[in-house]
Amino acid sequence: MARGIPDGEPSRWKCLLAYDGTEFAGWQKQPSGLAVQDKVEEALVHIFGSTVRTIGSGRTDAGVHAKGQIFHFDAPWTHPASSLLQALRTHCPTGISPRAISQVPGDFHALLSAQGKRYCYRACRGWAMPEVDRFIYSLKEKTVDLTRMQEAAKVFIGEHDFSSFSASRGEEDRGESKVRKVWKVNVVEVDQELQFIVEGGGFLYKMVRGMVGALFDVGAGKLLLSDIEEIFNAKKRTGRIVSAPAKGLCLEEVFYHSSK
């Protein structure tokens, strides 16, 4: 049953969402119904009594987490935004956590209004503790050199064709430009945890994971800095790039103009 839904013109709502991606098939709706977007829209049906379409700021792969996914939807609601947030929290399953919701102008678009994104990839030397193992990639016996990875990270800064570090979705992304602008790739270590902070205007399918995987191989001595430059120039994905596992990646923030 719908809960206190008034008649009238719909408003546009912007929602900040966090999720543990371990059990979900990524953000975007799937025939299996196991994507985060599927579960959010199921929750909205409980609230509004009819289908409500959501638009996300972008996809995350299966197994990837989020602290700062943004989506919007249009629906009539005259109660406080806090009541809508509570209703959404009530109907979302474990692992999906709406963090904030606000009414926004009708020209706001979660995807098209986005100016950029920040991702963080987390890995630990050795084995992760059980309570964080779902969110961190354990390097186990692998040894990587932090300084080498920091030097190689600089190569990714700027506007480049990232074909070599992304993966194809097939017909779905045919004709899509592979040029993306990246303005930050920081590699830091805190208490045996390696963090790869990547910011840019947009990202291709598995692009961040491909970049991090390449940096791991540089750190392990499997690739040289010159190899990264050569792979870039090839503009074609090859077996030399191995994507880092999804579990270590988290969408931390989507950037919008302050007016949005």
**Residue partners of 190: CB distance under 8 A and separation at least 6:** none
161 classed as catalytic: no
Which member of 61, 107, 173, 217 is catalytic? 61
Answer whether 159's CB lies under 8 Å from 179's CB.
yes
Answer whether 127's CB lies under 8 Å from 140's CB.
yes
Angle formed at CA 234 by CA 244 and CA 60, multiple of 5 degrees: 35
Answer whether 93's CB lies under 8 Å from 80's CB.
no
**Residue partners of 163: CB distance under 8 A and separation at least 6:** 178, 204, 235, 236, 237
Instruction: Dig out the tokens for 260 from the structure.
Output: 């949005």
27 by Cβ neighbours in 10 Å (0-12 / 13-18 / 19+) ranks as buried
Answer whether 228's CB lies under 8 Å from 157's CB.
no
Separation CA 38–CA 33 (nearest Å) = 6
For 243, the 3-state DSSP assignment is coil
CA distances to 30, 155, 157, 187 from 150, in Å: 37, 10, 12, 6
Active site residues: 61
